[in-house]
Amino acid sequence: MILLVHGGLREPMDAERFWVRPGIVAGLGDLGVLAPDRLADAPDWDAEADHLAGQLPGAATVIAGSNGCSAAVRLAVRWPGLVRRLMLAWPATPRPRGDLPVALTAGETLRGVLDAELRGLSVPVRVLPSVPENAMHERRTADALLALIPGATAVPGSPEPPHPDFAPHLAAVVQTCRGLACDRP
């Protein structure tokens, strides 16, 4: 089972736009995929994690994109038995945003997560950077995750969906996700 956690943070983003339309769900469908919408107005990242936990029938490989990485790590911290493996794809670089509650903007390398919690992750983690990097997804964030999370490995990067430049990278991203889900390098 694969749980896909889409990006976005209080903006018009959903699983359909982030995972389905770009072709990622279709590419992983035979492995069993859940791609629920995240909470549109979550008060904090723990609420996001609890919402995701409620979607899962059991342990899963969790693949998260952009700001969904914060929700996925909170899931791994709060519900460790539900996360077998974790991919942090196109991790969002935290920046102050006055339009959001402090509970959603606080954190260190990732919003909603302390670096000590990242160091405490005990599941296999892969990090897929945004290539090319951009103001929302800086390479320094991916590099910091690789330095903090024990045993985390980097995988080849790509533009994040739904960016128009993502399409040529679909097959490679799907292959990387399949490798993680099937416990292959």
Lowest mean pLDDT among 42-51, 71-80, 96-105: 96-105
For the chain, the average pLDDT equals 97
In this prediction the pTM is 0.97
- What's the pLDDT band for 52 if we cut at 50, 70, 90? very high
CATH of domain 2-181: 3.40.50.1820
Q: For 8-32, how does the pLDDT look when each residue is reduced to its tens digit (9 = 90+)? A: 999 999 999 999 999 999 999 999 9
Q: What is the pLDDT of residue 104?
A: 94
pLDDT of res. 98: 86
State residue 185's pLDDT score: 62
Q: Which amino acid is at 105?
A: T
Note whether 122 and 149 are within 8 A (CB). no
DSSP string spanning the chain? -EEEE---SSSS--HIIIIITTTHHHHHGGG-EE-PPPPTT-SSHHHHHHHHHHH-SS-EEEEEETTHHHHHHHHHHH-GGGEEEEEEESPPPP---TTS-HHHH-BSSSBT--HHHHHT--S-EEEE-BSS-BTTB-HHHHHHHHHHSTT-EE---BPPTTSGGGGGGHHHHHHHHHHHHTT--
pLDDT tens digit sequence for 107-116: 999 999 999 9
> pLDDT tens digits for 116-129?
999 999 999 999 99
pLDDT of residue 96: 83
> Smallest Cα–Cα separation from 37: which of 62, 73, 1, 12?
12
